[in-house]
Amino acid sequence: MLFLYVEQNQNTWLEALQKWCPSLSVVTQNDAYDPEQVRWVAAWNPPPGLFAPFQQLKGVFALGAGVDAFVRRPDLADNIPLVRLLDAGMAQQMVEYILWSVLTVQRDFDTYAQLQQQQTWQVSMARSRAEMRLGVLGLGALGQSVAQQLAELGYPVQGWKRSAIDLPGVDVLTGEAGLEQVIRHSDVLISLLPNTPQTQGLLSYERLSRLPQGAVLVNVARGVQVVDEDLIRLLDDGHLRLAVLDVFYPEPLPSEHPFWAHPKVVVTPHVAAETLPYPAAEQVAESLRQLDQGETPAGLVTGREGY
């Protein structure tokens, strides 16, 4: 038996899992079932205590790329295999969202929107792709895809990762010195970092103030990584040109939060890359088969660091 927990599109997820896992009984919190019969859980944003009734678990599937909501929690033992999605349609969506953000400033669309409000006809000089230095923080599966595709489009791309990797077309840096270099040389800084104790509050005034004058922050990772007050301060004093934010702490973004009305902030409701149920369910089915046969799924989380 597989237990499904999602907050939206439950029927679509049920249909997808039933298609790709026909031999399993798929249940939700709305069904009558015996928790002792549950061997697998597929979930997103699991609430506290969700896993406690399931004492016969053989594996858990995170229906997204991030697993911070699944780690360091008392109701899920570290020895239970945890598998995250590697793509499921998210990578291309993420590239599109970030490319839109980059083009907004490269072609001055943010400036033209302001000029329209003023009924001012004024032409800005566009920049070429080669003039737009992009920095990608976090080179997991999504980050690598984003960085490489942007580089293939002709943008100079630097990436930062905890451990060194070879990524064609991307200058990969590591360590504190590497982080410093990426920040100092990014006209657009893109965060795709996992949510860990080390990344929480990482994008503070101290670091963001080292971005070049007129730089842009794009955060599609986790809201807790940005110190909101520091970001607003840098936008207000003109050091930063724009912030494109898809993630916040908390979510939904409270109605009284200053981001909503700030003229230099673009707010989107955590939609940069949404999991597509059918490709995701296919991945779950393959990972489940591999676990059941003693194999190692590609998305197996080998530690509990939060990614």
Q: Which residues of the chain have pLDDT under 50?
A: none
pLDDT of 113 reads 96
3-state secondary structure of 62: strand
Considering the segment(s) 2-88+275-292 as one domain, its CATH architecture is 3-Layer(aba) Sandwich (3.40)
3-state secondary structure of 268: coil
Can you give the residue ranges of every domain in the chain? 2-88+275-292, 90-267
Tokens linked to 225 = 């990584």
User: In the chain, how many H helices and how many E strands?
Assistant: 8, 12
Q: Which of 262, 270, 289, 304 is catalytic?
A: 270
Q: How far apart are CA 113 and CA 118, in angstroms?
A: 9
90-267 has the same fold as 2-88+275-292:
yes
pLDDT of 306 reads 60
pLDDT of 123 reads 97
pLDDT of 303 reads 73
pTM for this prediction: 0.90
pLDDT of 66 reads 80
Q: Which fold is adopted by the domain 90-267?
A: Rossmann fold (3.40.50)
Tokens linked to 72 = 């360091």
Q: Strand pairing partners for 226?
A: 203
Asked if 233 is an active-site residue, the reply is: no
Distances (CA, A) of 62 to 41, 115, 200, 281, 283: 9, 44, 21, 11, 11
Q: Which of 222, 241, 257, 262 is catalytic?
A: 222
Asked if 185 is an active-site residue, the reply is: no
Distances (CA, A) of 22 to 15, 38, 54, 121: 10, 15, 21, 60
